[in-house]
Structure 1
Amino acid sequence: MSLGAREFDFVRDLVRTESAIVLDAGKEYLVESRLLPLARAAGHPDVTSYVAEVALRRQPRSRTAVVEALTTNETSWFRDNDPFTALRTTVLPALAETRTRRSIRIWCAACSTGQEPYSVAMTVLDSPLLAGFDVTIVATDLSEEVLAKGRRGEYSQLEVNRGLPASLLVRHFTREGLSWRISPQLRSRVDFKQLNLLRPYTSLGRFDIVFMRNVLIYFDQATKQDILRRVRQVTAPDGYLFLGAAEMTRGLDDKWEREPAGRSALYRVREEDRSCVPW
């Protein structure tokens, strides 16, 4: 039995309300494929009857499970590579010069199962200029399930094959049965926290670098504008924002400006809009 129109509308409204992710008409197949495991685990013959029960019972846990199942968790190690080259060759050396307190804070938003923040951590460890620096990496996601996996730091052979150089696998991971576990040293450098990007960010503190790559593409224009405005509020005046290759701030928040960095690009608050000196 295919997903009913009423049930699809319920899921679409729920996901948009809780995460701002837009499910356009025609995505019924995606909803069915993502929710089928939940439906079977709950003893339902199909997704339609499962969604109908979730709508009727209004249990927060069930609704959260639906939203998390529809959240995109595509990720890999050193994804697209060029942003990490820019981090290593441009951003970290610049911050090493300007951060006299020898402290740097980095936020990886929508971090999924942890490959991005751990890739950042490995890049930091390989930066001699940061010797003696206190570098904090905060990794957030909407889904507690993917955050739990990130905290465990355990990955399958297929997962480590996606972008992780063999030299870094040997240095930072140990083999445990069919899986690979990240070293305690690297795991301790990343603080995983649950965060809905629709909610306030101020409790996270301020950051020198923000990774928000391949996130904005899932939101409508008003939500993109709101997120970029609020990211500015938690970014150091001379800080750096990384977006995905298909994302930009132009026409959304013109207080950001694009700066080329090798084969990649960075976003920084325009000089005239920086309200205070570096901290």
Structure 2
Amino acid sequence: MTDNDFEFIRKLLKQRSGLMLSAEKQYLVESRLMPVAQRRGLPDLFELVRRLRAGNDETLTTEVVEAMTTNETFFFRDRVPFEHFRSVILPALMAARDRQKRIRIWCAAASSGQEPYSLAMTIKEMGAVLDGFRIEILATDISNEVLQKATAGVYSQFEVQRGLPIQLLLKYFTQVGEAWQIAPQIRAMVQFRPLNLLTDFSRLGTFDLIICRNVLIYFDQPTKTDVLDRLARVIAPGGYLILGAAETTIGLTHAFKSLPDKRGLYAPADPVADKVIRFPAASLAS
């Protein structure tokens, strides 16, 4: 791949997905795009880029973007966000939404589904505590390929061994050959939909909790700010945002405030409210 071709791919990925590739990532582009060229019956990456430059094959462009998207995920990844979800977020939202009895959750950049399914299992395990509440989970990703896998809910032995407690595997999965399929009752709790975070997502409505983990790290600063500001506009009053351990809103936007002693957890900023954040009594339940 020539330097000019690599630069074209870098600009294409930035425009279509927000993904920023450093100059030393040419080897990564070559290794991930060669299988795309082979599936298309193209002789080399030069021909692949030539067709991309022509701009008349949107399907090919989508394949390239999806091939370059990082889809690393596993069940109950990092643990802390799920502890916050169970012991802090859900009790606080239940108290705040006691009249509506409805809680909406959005998992952005959900990849192959382990994150939203981890939330669904957590909710299921809480049992009667949530009786009367309707909890909706929307999971989105830019890649149609990983969304198909997520919708099927079928995972390899390696995938279910990463972060998934054995008791939940036995309770909510059925072995299918050498793979495991998550139970229909858990799959039914999650709605999957394709979505690019660079596009307008206001049509999705408002959410009580948005989980957007380990995706902002791939964006440049202006893109991070833009996405965070738009996320703030679709979080309902009293709602929450969860970011990845390596991500922050500090220095990017004033739309969110971090919550003391709750790593990765944010709330929409209220410029007239006291800067000291106090949780409702119910949020302290364990």
Say yes or no: TM over 0.5.
Answer: yes
Q: After superposing the two structures, state which structure 1 stretch, 219-228 or 119-128, moved more.
A: 119-128
Q: After superposing the two structures, state which structure 1 stretch, 220-229 or 46-55, moved more.
A: 46-55
Contact 2:248 2:264 in 1 (8 A): no
Matched, 1:199 2:202: no
Per the alignment, residue 11 of structure 1 pairs with 9
Query: Size of the alignment, in residue pairs?
Result: 271
Provide runs of 4+ in structure 1 moved above 3 Å: 271-274
Distance 1:141 1:174, change over 3 A: same
Per the alignment, residue 244 of structure 1 pairs with 244
Amino acid at match of 1:103: R
In 2, the alpha carbon distance for the partners of 1:250 and 1:109 equals 20
Distance 1:9 1:273, change over 3 A: farther
In 2, the alpha carbon distance for the partners of 1:61 and 1:270 equals 40
In 1, the alpha carbon distance for the partners of 2:81 and 2:272 equals 25
TM-score (normalised: structure 1): 0.93
SS at match of 2:92: helix
Residue pairs, 1:66-81, within 5 angstroms: 66-81=64-79
In 2, the alpha carbon distance for the partners of 1:29 and 1:137 equals 37
Per the alignment, residue 94 of structure 1 pairs with 92
SS at match of 2:7: helix
Contact 1:208 1:239 in 2 (8 A): yes
Structure 1 residues 98-136: Cα deviation after superposition (integer angstroms, max 9, x where no partner):
112111000000000000010111111122421221000
Contact 1:90 1:261 in 2 (8 A): no
In 2, the alpha carbon distance for the partners of 1:199 and 1:7 equals 26
In 2, the alpha carbon distance for the partners of 1:106 and 1:170 equals 26
Matched, 1:134 2:123: no
Cα offset, 1:23, TM superposition: 1.3
Amino acid at match of 1:231: L
SS at match of 1:17: helix
SS at match of 2:180: strand
In 2, the alpha carbon distance for the partners of 1:68 and 1:83 equals 27
SS at match of 2:259: strand
In 1, the alpha carbon distance for the partners of 2:255 and 2:3 equals 41
Cα offset, 1:273, TM superposition: 6.1
Cα offset, 1:36, TM superposition: 1.4
SS at match of 2:23: coil
Contact 1:108 1:138 in 2 (8 A): yes
Cα offset, 1:46, TM superposition: 2.9
Contact 1:209 1:241 in 2 (8 A): yes
Which ranges of structure 1 fall in alignment gaps of 5 or more residues? 275-279
Per the alignment, residue 121 of structure 2 pairs with 122
Cα offset, 1:52, TM superposition: 2.3
Which ranges of structure 2 fall in alignment gaps of 5 or more residues? 274-286
In 1, the alpha carbon distance for the partners of 2:261 and 2:85 equals 9
Amino acid at match of 2:137: I
Amino acid at match of 2:269: R
Per the alignment, residue 40 of structure 2 pairs with 42
Contact 1:86 1:261 in 2 (8 A): no
Distance 1:229 1:273, change over 3 A: farther
